[in-house]
Structure 1
Amino acid sequence: MPDRSAPHVMLLRSALAALLAICAVLWHASPSQADTDSVEAETLAIIDEILEDADLPSAIWGIVIQDARTGRVVLSRNAEQNLLPASNLKLMTTAAALDRLGPTFRYTTRLYHLGQVSPDGTLTGDLVIRGSGDPTFGSEGEGDPLRDWAQALADAGVQRIEGRIVGDDDVFEDARYGEGWDVTHIATESYAPAAGGLVWGDNLVNISIRGTSPGQPPVFEADPAGFATVEGDVVTRSGGGRLDVERTLGTDTFVLRGGVPNGYRGTLRVPVANPTLFAVHAFALRLEEAGIEVGRAQRVDIDDTTSKPSYEGAEPLQAYVSPTLDEIVVRINRESDNLYAEQVLRTLGGGTVDGGADQIEALVERAGVDGDGLYIADGSGLSRKDMVTPSSLAAVLRTMRNHPASRSFQQSLPEGGGAGSTLRNRLSGVPVRAKTGSLLAVRCLAGYVDGPDGTPYVFALMANNYTTRGRSIASAQDDIVRAMATGRRVPVDEE
């Protein structure tokens, strides 16, 4: 009797041989886990060398490095230690905002007239700017909606404003600064302006300074005119000079001291005390520039009124719609813009800092890390009360890598050597996207980097409590990222 199973055996053997051939190709085409483990072991040894360098200042280091695909922890050091994140907190703020609001979210700021219009072009009643918390409203590089609105009113035949020009900032609580902000930053630094429901021009006055003849005072000019008072004892010198700025909190009087060279031309950007009145003042100027009389119109912060305006049934005269949130987070993370971050946090929280902090902690919890021990005092990381763990930061990064808004989030991060970003002078040529963070005795770096075998990693490198300059700490962090990207210790001049 013939063996009817023989053809089937031969067919099975042929299929098995083909399968083994395919496996062999795949085996040689991609690195094995053993190869990956070997590269990572060498990388970890290099990182140990970097951190144990005798010339590296003593610091508290918190580090988490993970495989971005699986969450496998490659390196963990003080991963659950609460540390100051500085501007690395912006990663959490922007991630939570993209998660909650979506990349296409936009702000809308509206202009209302709540009163009557006379046949002669006179507006009586209240002309109200209703803020939305939009950080881009009149921001540097974004144009000036107030000028456009004023011209539109003039084109419509408006000739005079009789009544009040009101700034409505009630979309946010009146918490202009983050808890734990340094008072010296609040007073004079352009990177620490007050937040608010109505923002215009980054909440900064521009003071242009022009040197004159040696021995004479320079010429000062504030823009917008008439809002800030500039005074002091400054002299023009034939050589170098130094200029110091002072301001008493709650005022818009700036005192300048020191000297400037006779050929000096420069501009100081200094924060205002009341952003709402600042916007109202600027609008009054724009109306005058458009030929509309506003001399008798009162400039009012809505908080100083006895009754709130009702918008029910009212149609706005004008509206400004912001860029999308994915464009806004680019400015937050690439330029580390503190005001933008503060505005977004409050928007995320329904107008409050605490509400925004709750949203960040909720995102951390969904990322698989306990958020109860974190403390979020602001959205920018300027506060010295902010406390987050390296594990929470890494978890958010990994979550956003697989998030529907992943592209928007990752593209907001500076690339190594990226022009105009906080990494413009760092990690050039390295396949990294990361956010820096720095305060006194704080240096942080967190983001994404591809390993030499193509393995994608998330990393959070946090250093606190050192007593020397932070440059060596930042250099060590850069060395760690280079090691992760190459599997070896790369001298800076090889980048």
Structure 2
Amino acid sequence: MRRSWFLLPLSVVLLSVLVGGSTAPAPSLSDEIQRLLQRWQVDQAFWGIAVYDLDAEQMLYSRNASQSFLPASNQKILTSATALDVLGSTHRYETVLHYNGTTNGATMQGDLILEGSGDPTFGSTEVRGEDPLKVWAQKLADMGVERIEGRLIGDDNVFDDQPYPGGWTVDYITEQKGRYMGNSAGGLTYRDNVVPVTVRATRPGAPPSVEVQPENAVSITNRATTSSRWRGNTLQVNRTFSTNELVLTGSVARSYSGTVAVPVSDPTAFVLQSFERRLQEAGIETDLDLVDIDNLDDRPDEGSPLFVEYSRPFAEIAAVVNKESNNFYAEQVFRSFGWGGSARGASRRTKSFLREADINTRKLLIHDGSGLSRKDLVTPQAMVKLLAHMNEHEEREAFLASLPRGGERNTTLDYRLHRTDVQAKTGSLEFVRALSGYTERPNGNRVAFALFANNYTSPSYRISRTIDDIVRAVASGGS
């Protein structure tokens, strides 16, 4: 009896070990995504999801994939893909300084014509290197030029004269909303089409000092004050719509000194003013009329090219567009491949490219290249089909290299998806979050995904966390 009394518990223990040690089946990918969408009550958002296995040519998960969503900066995927197809990764922009005139001793007399090609990198702070206008001015001085008389003409006709696309909110243009928000597009650009405005505290109760370079680039209405506080600022720098009038309000601490980059409303005038200043800094006297070519009755004879500035290859520009989500670069690139140099022409060109890739464009609306427009609409299904197309495209390597990797420093994924094999473009506007790109399954299959969340009331960080966890779920397994 005692022996059987010992045997019974032992058999129970063995049975428990066998049952408890069995491995429960892993949740399916569908179940895991559903669980993540129900966590934190984020399922109240309007979700659009498409996860497509590129090697198996099979949709792994779909939710509202054929519905239209605001893509935010995921729009840049469409822009960069179309540009790589139309322009190519080796394309270089050219900005040319022409001269048509005569030389009298050390004086140049006639027309200097600055001809742009829409290059977003000309003098850009995003590109390391010397200021091309400064280099050109110094070269003229080194050639013995002491004075220039005549006209300095800006040729921006490679683009139309519509600097803003449809669907942008006026706040992007009139208020400081962030880096490269509301910059005017133009055929002739310089320093990202922004003017540096330096503000320094003076004495408490008095207006701060304001310095602009070049001085006549914008007009200033200074309603700000210097406070008696050592720290803490409420300074606001706003621009009157469609003008170059800046209005400063609020206060700065008495220790404050800082520079604000303010978009200009007339990029061509800004370039011409900046070049004249560079000429003067190089020791060259100027007596120049600054003229936009649009204000001339007849196109002037360009004469001979003096200097040419080439951009870096487009593959590097595409990386700035996608890795840094640079809105200004995206808008310049958008018009660069657009018929007539317009946003409307670029929209038609983008849709033409998508149709060639066998993508249904009936539910797509394309108003800009950056995704700032709240009139843009994209379906998750169209996005993964585009990603699948670019995975086989002749410019595949340049396209992939333009996308941020998880945790990659100085990109929009800097603090996201560390230790996850993912290349993807982020997107964010008010009540909009998106992430589209590529990852790899445990079986080695490559996957394209598009994740959109619109019209949510949950905290944005929960939406972004959910998006990242869905990507991890795709990369970690689940059928």
Q: Could you state the TM-score of these two structures normalised by the residue count of structure 1?
A: 0.87
Give the drift of 1:99. Answer: 1.2
Residue 348 (structure 1) aligned with residue 348 (structure 2): no
**1:241-256 mapped onto 2 (5 Å cutoff):** 241-256=233-248
Aligned to 1:59: 45
1:139 pairs, out of 99, 118, 124, with 124
**1:157-172 mapped onto 2 (5 Å cutoff):** 157-172=144-159
Amino acid at match of 1:305: L
**1:451-490 mapped onto 2 (5 Å cutoff):** 451-487=441-477
Call closer, same or farther: CA 1:188–1:300 in 2, change over 3 Å: farther
Aligned to 1:43: 29
Aligned to 1:403: 393
> Which digits, 9 at most, give the CA deviation of each residue in 1:241-275, with x for residues without a partner?
21112221122121111112222232111110100
Give the drift of 1:71. Answer: 2.9
Amino acid at match of 1:149: W
Q: What is the DSSP-based 3-state SS (H/G/I as helix, E as strand, rest coil) of the residue aligned with 1:466? A: coil
Name the CA distance, whole Å, in 2 between partners of 1:243 and 1:151: 37
Q: What is the DSSP-based 3-state SS (H/G/I as helix, E as strand, rest coil) of the residue aligned with 2:97? A: strand
Residue 193 (structure 1) aligned with residue 183 (structure 2): yes
Give the drift of 1:218. Answer: 2.3
Aligned to 2:368: 378
Amino acid at match of 1:378: D
Name the CA distance, whole Å, in 2 between partners of 1:227 and 1:389: 42
Residue 230 (structure 1) aligned with residue 215 (structure 2): no
Name the CA distance, whole Å, in 1 between partners of 2:436 and 2:126: 28
1:277 pairs, out of 256, 265, 269, with 269
Structure 2 contact 40–462 (Cα < 8 Å) conserved: no
Aligned to 2:306: 317
> Which digits, 9 at most, give the CA deviation of each residue in 1:416-441, with x for residues without a partner?
11111111111111111111111111
Structure 1 contact 71–398 (Cα < 8 Å) conserved: no
Residue 357 (structure 1) aligned with residue 347 (structure 2): yes
Q: What is the DSSP-based 3-state SS (H/G/I as helix, E as strand, rest coil) of the residue aligned with 1:53? A: helix
Give the drift of 1:376. Answer: 0.7
Give the drift of 1:39. Answer: 9.4
Name the CA distance, whole Å, in 2 between partners of 1:69 and 1:359: 29
Aligned to 2:162: 175
Amino acid at match of 2:306: L
Structure 1 contact 241–260 (Cα < 8 Å) conserved: yes
Structure 1 contact 363–396 (Cα < 8 Å) conserved: no
Call closer, same or farther: CA 1:54–1:156 in 2, change over 3 Å: closer
Aligned to 1:336: 325
Residue 300 (structure 1) aligned with residue 285 (structure 2): no
> Which digits, 9 at most, give the CA deviation of each residue in 1:459-479, with x for residues without a partner?
000111123432211111011
1:87 pairs, out of 62, 73, 90, with 73
Call closer, same or farther: CA 1:276–1:407 in 2, change over 3 Å: same
Give the drift of 1:40. Answer: 9.2
Amino acid at match of 1:158: V
Q: What is the DSSP-based 3-state SS (H/G/I as helix, E as strand, rest coil) of the residue aligned with 1:52? A: helix
Give the drift of 1:182. Answer: 0.7
Residue 206 (structure 1) aligned with residue 193 (structure 2): no
Give the drift of 1:41. Answer: 6.0
Structure 1 window deviating more from structure 2 (330-339 vs 63-72): it is: 63-72
Q: Could you state the TM-score of these two structures normalised by the residue count of structure 2?
A: 0.90
Unmatched runs of 5 consecutive residues or more in structure 1? 1-37, 489-495
Structure 2 contact 54–448 (Cα < 8 Å) conserved: yes
Name the CA distance, whole Å, in 1 between partners of 2:206 and 2:313: 48
Structure 1 contact 57–468 (Cα < 8 Å) conserved: no
**1:366-445 mapped onto 2 (5 Å cutoff):** 366-445=356-435
Unmatched runs of 5 consecutive residues or more in structure 2? 1-23
Amino acid at match of 1:99: D
Aligned to 2:83: 97
